[in-house]
Amino acid sequence: MKDNKNFKRYFLIFVLAFGTTAMYSLPYMKSSFYDPMQQALGLSHTQIGNLLSVYGLVGMVSYFVGGWFADKFSVKILIPFSLIASGLLGFYFSTFPPYSQILLIFVLWGITTILTFFAGSIKVIRMQGDESEQGRLFGFNEGLSGIAGTLISFIGLYLFGKLTDVTVGFKYVVWLYSGASILCGILLFFLIQDKKEEKTSGEALTFKALTKVVTMPKAWLIGLIIFSTYLVFSSLTYLSPYLSEVYVMPMTLVSALSIVRTYVIKMGASPSAGVIADKVGSPIKVMFVGYILTAASMAAFLVIPKENNFMMIAVINMIILSTILFGFRGIYFASVSESNISMETTGMVVGFASLIGFSPDAFYYTLAGNWLDSYGQTGYTYIFMLSVAAAVVGIFATYTLNKINQKEKETSKNQVA
């Protein structure tokens, strides 16, 4: 009976992870296919950055309001709707409409992938186990996302290899992601259990409820942890054109390395981080050490010579950095449970923390794109320097949040005694 229950919950997480990967691959096509996307759509670095910034601006509001959605409405409806709607938008995107219409698509993706989906997906995963399993569950989810991403991305890379026309190859990849997103949305409608208490357990979206979350130091610190991870993670995108421009690496090899960096590493790094966090008993302590390593790894890109003989060193450093960051992505939401956030306010706290954490979407890609268009290869230096600063913020946030949690535990023990 227990084995059957475990199979059901992990199969649900698998389908959710697969669908999430396919869906988010649509607005984030540049992560694995930056150069092909730029060629197929005929966009500059700045224009690609603008697309992500528009997506991020909508996302900033959507993350917070989406938390209330997840607490108030059935995730059985929200999750399938998001996946299916995002896939349909993807099929329209594959017609390569004018730039103004592509901007509109990214606005709508900001709604379907974040407002109605993000906090709800976190809640679905958290519902699959007790507090002692959170690191493992979130890590397993990220690991399965890696398997899904590796599979569909290498299929996409195969299509690029078979087709000489970059535009046609890119269109097929968009079809692939869109179809997978829709299929997973249909499956999840039948897999997610619609619990009546789920609709009424959340707090109402009132000024009092908002004030409670906004004045919660833990929510801000969790937000800063996500912010630090996400900004450095966003910088990984620019390692693809960096290898191509600085070390003159062939596009096909760059795309293959991008897929390894984005998905293959995730398969092992995220679940491993989840297991380590559960063994240590504190995802926050694990991330504190990880941020120190992240700062060192990003700083290394500033000193590694930009010569062909040092290309492998740059690649190895990229793999190390990716491993750390995907480990973070597997456990940073487990900090919600470790910080003793109630299930009733999980959605709103996740939404507020995500508003802070994923805010780089609103400015970072336009900023980085402008640096590259304006300063050429020097722009990469600015990207690496900003990433080091973000890692330092992560060190501060994890240290402070751990101190607050430890103080609360000691106070609680003293009261019991």
Q: How far apart are CA 298 and CA 275, in angstroms?
A: 25
Residue type, 42: G
Q: Choose between 147 and 183: higher pLDDT.
A: 183
Whether 130 has a pLDDT exceeding 80, the answer reads no
Q: Which pLDDT score, from 0 to 100, does residue 32 have?
A: 65
Mean pLDDT of 267-283: 81
Whether 220 has a pLDDT exceeding 90, the answer reads yes
- Ranges of H-type helices in 332-377: 334-338, 346-357, 360-375
Confidence of residue 327 (pLDDT cuts 50, 70, 90): confident
pLDDT digits (tens, 9 = 90+) for 342-392: 766 776 787 788 888 888 877 888 899 889 989 988 999 999 999 999 999
Mean pLDDT of 267-293: 85
3-state secondary structure string across the chain: CHHHHHHHHHHHHHHHHHHHHHHHHCCCCHHHHHHHHHHHHCCCHHHHHHHHHHHHHHHHHHHHHHHHHHHHCCHHHHHHHHHHHHHHHHHHHCCCCCHHHHHHHHHHHHHHHHHCCHHHHHHHHHCCCCHHHHHHHHHHHHHHHHHHHHHHHHHHHHHHHHCCCHHHHHHHHHHHHHHHHHHHHHHHHHHCCCCHHHHHCCCCCCHHHHHHHHCCHHHHHHHHHHHHHHHHHHHHHHHHHHHHHHCCCCHHHHHHHHHHHHHHHHHHHHHHHHHHHHHHCCHHHHHHHHHHHHHHHHHHHHHCCCCHHHHHHHHHHHHHHHHHHHHHHHHCCHHHHHCCCCHHHHHHHHHHHHHHHCCHHHHHHHHHHHHHHHHCCHHHHHHHHHHHHHHHHHHHHHHHHHHHHHHHHHHHHHHHC
Q: Choose between 383 and 196: higher pLDDT.
A: 383
Q: Choose between 301 and 151: higher pLDDT.
A: 301
Confidence of residue 274 (pLDDT cuts 50, 70, 90): confident
Whether 260 has a pLDDT exceeding 70, the answer reads yes
Least confident of 181-190, 306-315, 357-366, 408-417: 408-417
Whether 202 has a pLDDT exceeding 60, the answer reads no
Q: Which pLDDT score, from 0 to 100, does residue 343 have?
A: 65
Residues 6+ apart with CB under 8 A from 144: 13, 14, 17, 18
Q: How far apart are CA 189 and CA 182, in angstroms?
A: 11
Phi, psi of 42 (to 5 degrees): 65, 45
CA count, 13 A, side-chain hemisphere, 411: 6
pLDDT digits (tens, 9 = 90+) for 227-238: 999 999 889 888
Q: Choose between 106 and 141: higher pLDDT.
A: 106
Whether 405 has a pLDDT exceeding 60, the answer reads yes
Q: Which pLDDT score, from 0 to 100, does residue 380 have?
A: 94
Token pair for 328: 């973070």
Helix (H) or strand (E) holding 290: helix 283-303
Q: How far apart are CA 406 and CA 409, in angstroms?
A: 5
Q: Which pLDDT score, from 0 to 100, does residue 133 have?
A: 65
Average pLDDT, the chain: 83
Whether 1 has a pLDDT exceeding 70, the answer reads no
pLDDT digits (tens, 9 = 90+) for 47-81: 888 888 898 889 888 877 877 777 777 888 999 99
Q: Which pLDDT score, from 0 to 100, does residue 417 have?
A: 54
Whether 412 has a pLDDT exceeding 50, the answer reads yes
Q: How far apart are CA 144 and CA 128, in angstroms?
A: 15
Q: Which pLDDT score, from 0 to 100, does residue 200 have?
A: 42
Least confident of 145-159, 207-221, 227-241, 269-283: 145-159
Whether 197 has a pLDDT exceeding 50, the answer reads no
Whether 5 has a pLDDT exceeding 70, the answer reads no
Mean pLDDT of 254-267: 76
pLDDT digits (tens, 9 = 90+) for 31-40: 667 777 888 8
Q: Which CATH architecture has domain 2-193+205-407?
A: Up-down Bundle (1.20)
